[in-house]
Amino acid sequence: MTLYNIDEDTQIDEFGVNQSNFSLRDKLEYNLMRAKEKERRNKCLRPHAIENNKADQLMHMPQTKWNDIIMAGVTGMGEGMVTGIERFVNGITGGAYGNIINSNFDNAYTNRQQVLQDRADSVGLGNVNRLANTAIDVSGRLMPFVYGVSKIKK
């Protein structure tokens, strides 16, 4: 009972392993190991072409996980938007938003900002992230003045 081809005369399988001295337990363990390896390999591969509807003629090539790439992009964009909006609101309120969130939710605002800064630092974008956060914070702090000046001119 095997999942692969074995030469009956030499007891050498298609992987070059001589099974002539294998006990029943050895054969069972070897078959389970080969089955797990085959299952792992098949998860990473996808059918590329089917010729004449024969399963043994399937050609396999690595599967691109586009959905993982897209989800990572969407997640990153969402985190960036939330961080930007929080920074802007914190700037408009003169830091009150961050203080309220931190005091009521166990430093959630500061911790979230620190996690995102650490991620940016880990990929070499730490200074760019600090600059963007500062610009958003300053623009939020200037917003009440800009809004007030625009009302005066009318």
Total-model pTM: 0.48
User: If pLDDT is split at 50, 70 and 90, which confidence band does 19 have?
Assistant: confident
Q: Give pLDDT tens digits for 89-143.
A: 888 888 888 889 888 888 888 888 888 888 888 888 889 888 988 888 888 888 8
- Contacts of residue 79, defined as CB under 8 A and 6 or more positions apart, other chains included, come to 116
Query: Which pLDDT score, from 0 to 100, does residue 84 have?
Result: 85
- Contacts of residue 134, defined as CB under 8 A and 6 or more positions apart, other chains included, come to none
Residue 98 corresponds to which tokens in the numbers above?
Answer: 């961050």
Q: Give pLDDT tens digits for 30-76.
A: 888 877 877 776 665 555 444 444 444 444 444 556 777 777 778 77
Per-domain residue ranges of the chain:
1-63, 66-153
